[in-house]
Structure 1
Amino acid sequence: MKRNMAFISCVVFTITLAALVSVSAGRALMYPLPSSVPQAEKKPMQTFRAYNVAHRGSNGELPEETAPAYMRAIAEGADFIESDIQATKDGVLVCMHDVTLDATTDVADRKEFADRKTTYEVQWVNTTGWFVVDFTLKELKTLRAKQRFDFRDQQYNGKFPPITFEEFISIALDAKRTVGIYPEIKNPVFVNKHVKWSDGKKLEDRFVETLQKFGYKGQYLSKDWLKQPCFIQSFAPSSLVYISNQTDLPKVFLIDDVTIRTEDTNQTYNEITSDSYFNYIKDYVMAIGPWKDTVVPPEDNYLEKSTDLIAKAHALGMQVHPYTYRNENSFLHFNFHQDPYVEYDYWINRRGVDGLFTDFTGSLHRYQEWTSSSEKQLLQKIASMVSSRDRS
């Protein structure tokens, strides 16, 4: 039955995707409003296993942070869809990972925007390109997304525009089952420097206001949270502390390579993962989201000895949601023998993580389904029945 339902979901997604591609040719895409399916009738999220977080949507298959990428992730079984939230020149919150548009849109081919290319300092480094903060929403919507990596499927390049934070939320709420959102307050220091709101508020304020507008509230696993699950994440710990009095939604502190400095505190992540800092930040966040190579450093593409990052976080009552898991050989360490399922097994069963950010939602969901307790019990029951029949 599960396989049949998965097949039907994929067929429905394929038809929907075809419609989106067709409509996009006319430059008039429409995205769903919040679902008409009563919340009480939606299948609840499973919270007993590590969360399947669709990193920028199912971006291993479709251009990242686009409506089809998120719809695909939902069809493939994602628990959460993840997005990076920035602001346009006119103050609209949009889904875009990079502060520049170069790597994921066709902006470089658009002559009307040639004069927008500029250089800004971003996280202590001078960066040149076309920046999200220099485009109005109307201008941004004329751009079309492209696949970031040239070794991935390029057939959907030029088909889909960027989407707003509200459109992203609407896609999650339109799902026929409970699907959580996992938005990131992205580069808040940079965005707040270049985008000004007339009422004096800033990115963090607008971010929380948008979540509240759509009914997102409640502490982790509360009744309200289970109805509309949401994790708020950021690499900027001061942003997470700032919004702590505005929302009780669970917050996740992202951690990069230990040598990199945070945008807001100018501390390295080595300093910021110290015992003293963890004892401070645990009062504001319920999880950390570390780069997986920070947790278990590799040498010559082989994993070395694990750090104590997971154990330290768990000891303080924080979950651990590492990033990013990708199926391609170029991203898989040699220990996993070019098999992403072996990597999932290592991180879930040997390292004990509580969630994973993946570019390939379907792969992680298949692993989840075939290794969950209920599936194991079913397989054991079938094996027992077969064995009993053979003995009779």
Structure 2
Amino acid sequence: MQLVRAERPLVIGHRGAPGYRPEHTRSAYELAFALGADAVEPDVVATRDGVLVLRHENEISGTTDVAKRPEFAAKRTTREVDGKPLTGWFTEDFTWAELSTMRARERLGAIRQSSSSFNDRYPIIRLRDLFALIDTAADEQRRLIRMVAEFKHASHFDALGLPLDELFAAELEEAGWGRGDERLIMESFEPGLLDRLGARGIRGSRIFLIEATGSPYDLVLADGTRATRYDDFVTEAGLLGLADRVDGVSVDKARLIGEPGAAAGAAAAATDASGAPVDRRAAHLPLVGSALVDAAHSAGLEIFTWTLRPENRFLSKGFRRGTARAAYGDWLGEFTLIVGTGVDGIFVDHPDLGVEARDAVFAASASG
């Protein structure tokens, strides 16, 4: 069967379609496919018995009904995750048999009342379940559907004897995806995990996730306060340095729209003490907006961005409308601005809105 391939940018259903259904549920993923997502993004964490499950974090009090389950009350504990103490319930303290009895909840329920109305209806699912869902949807819709697997807290799980790269390789084989192919994209905030996935011969794009601030935790473990900052990776030299290591980067959307002018495609410039413009490339400063996208492409890297959401709570200030946090603002304005920078993929909580924004940019380009 000849599969239809997606246009660019890829519209990636962030944890499925959590704008409409609780994230990481079968219903959220199936809805994402129906709404036209080119790919879906699962967050991957491990159970005590080495099963990869789909949760936003390994701490699950906000995304499941675990706090209401008296049989699991004794498992509430405090752990250090990526150098910070966190209290709650953790996937690594449960077997899959135990987790499979829980029900999913919408993490952003205060904002997403429509999605949270489906709380406690759907069970947690495993990574292997999503492989099967993708295969089925691709066959039914006769198009290529990708998985963008995000590996959460790799160093943390390594220390527990649950290496995510090893467990993932086994899941690929079990699902019939072999060593991976063009359907597979892998991403992590820890570049060392991406290195290990490549060393295992797993095929598929490897994408380095870049936060707005801070440093990758695996580098903090290795280098302490001297750890390379995320900012250092989005200079021209930093992007060139990544080119032989990964296939792309994925940046917080603040790096594309966080500064006036840069996101609109103007020269990405800062100012010095006298107020004179400073070229970020020449000054080896972090790039922003279309200048960042162009530099990534010049280095041979793809560039994605996350997360595009329509509610005022998540929109940049200039695109908010009114004061209600849950109300939709000028989401189309922000989404099309981001698509217009030339990014290769956008992570969205409402896949249909991502498709609409992409279509609007294409239509404007064709008419212009």
TM-score category (smaller protein)? 0.7 to 0.9
Aligned equivalent of 1:340: 331
Structure 2 CA distance for aligned equivalents of residues 111 and 298 of structure 1 = 49
Aligned equivalent of 1:188: 154
Q: What whole-Å deviation, never above 9, does each CA across 1:297-343 have from its counterpart, x for those lacking one?
A: 269xx999772432321220111100000010111113335211111
The number of aligned residues is: 321
Question: Which among 352, 358, 361 is matched to residue 362 of structure 1?
Answer: 352
Is the CA contact (8 Å cut-off) linking 1:91 and 1:195 kept in structure 2? no
> 2:172 matched to 1:211?
yes
Q: What whole-Å deviation, never above 9, does each CA across 1:209-241 have from its counterpart, x for those lacking one?
A: 32244344789xxxx52xxx1211111100111
SS in 2 for 1:264: helix
Question: Which among 285, 307, 310 is matched to residue 327 of structure 1?
Answer: 310
> 2:137 matched to 1:171?
no
Please give the residue correspondences for 1:58-97 in structure 2 after superposition, counting only pairs within 5 Å. 58-97=17-56
Distance 1:218 1:142, change over 3 A: closer
Aligned equivalent of 2:70: 111
Aligned equivalent of 2:323: none
> Structure 1 stretches of 5 or more lacking a match?
1-39, 197-201, 381-392
TM norm structure 2: 0.80
Structure 2 CA distance for aligned equivalents of residues 147 and 125 of structure 1 = 24
Is the CA contact (8 Å cut-off) linking 1:89 and 1:195 kept in structure 2? no
> 2:297 matched to 1:314?
yes
Q: What whole-Å deviation, never above 9, does each CA across 1:246-294 have from its counterpart, x for those lacking one?
A: 2231110001122x22121113312344555433322121110111113
> Structure 2 stretches of 5 or more lacking a match?
221-226, 270-286, 321-328
Is the CA contact (8 Å cut-off) linking 1:133 and 1:195 kept in structure 2? no
Is the CA contact (8 Å cut-off) linking 1:216 and 1:230 kept in structure 2? no
Aligned equivalent of 1:271: 232
Question: Which among 72, 77, 80 is matched to residue 121 of structure 1?
Answer: 80
TM norm structure 1: 0.76
- The sequence identity of aligned pairs, in percent, is 29
Question: Which among 229, 241, 246 is matched to residue 280 of structure 1?
Answer: 241
Structure 2 CA distance for aligned equivalents of residues 273 and 212 of structure 1 = 35
> 2:136 matched to 1:145?
no
Distance 1:239 1:111, change over 3 A: same
SS in 1 for 2:42: strand
Distance 1:365 1:165, change over 3 A: same
Offset at residue 186 of structure 1 (A): 1.4
Offset at residue 295 of structure 1 (A): 3.5
Is the CA contact (8 Å cut-off) linking 2:194 and 2:206 kept in structure 1? yes
* AA aligned opposite 2:347: F
Distance 1:190 1:233, change over 3 A: same
Structure 2 CA distance for aligned equivalents of residues 230 and 311 of structure 1 = 24
* AA aligned opposite 2:338: W
* AA aligned opposite 1:45: R
Structure 2 CA distance for aligned equivalents of residues 136 and 298 of structure 1 = 46
Q: What whole-Å deviation, never above 9, does each CA across 1:121-156 have from its counterpart, x for those lacking one?
A: 111111111011101101111111111111212210
SS in 2 for 1:321: strand
SS in 2 for 1:232: strand
> More deviation in 266-275 or 165-174?
266-275
SS in 2 for 1:89: coil
Is the CA contact (8 Å cut-off) linking 1:244 and 1:284 kept in structure 2? no
* AA aligned opposite 1:171: L
Radius of gyration: which is bigger?
1
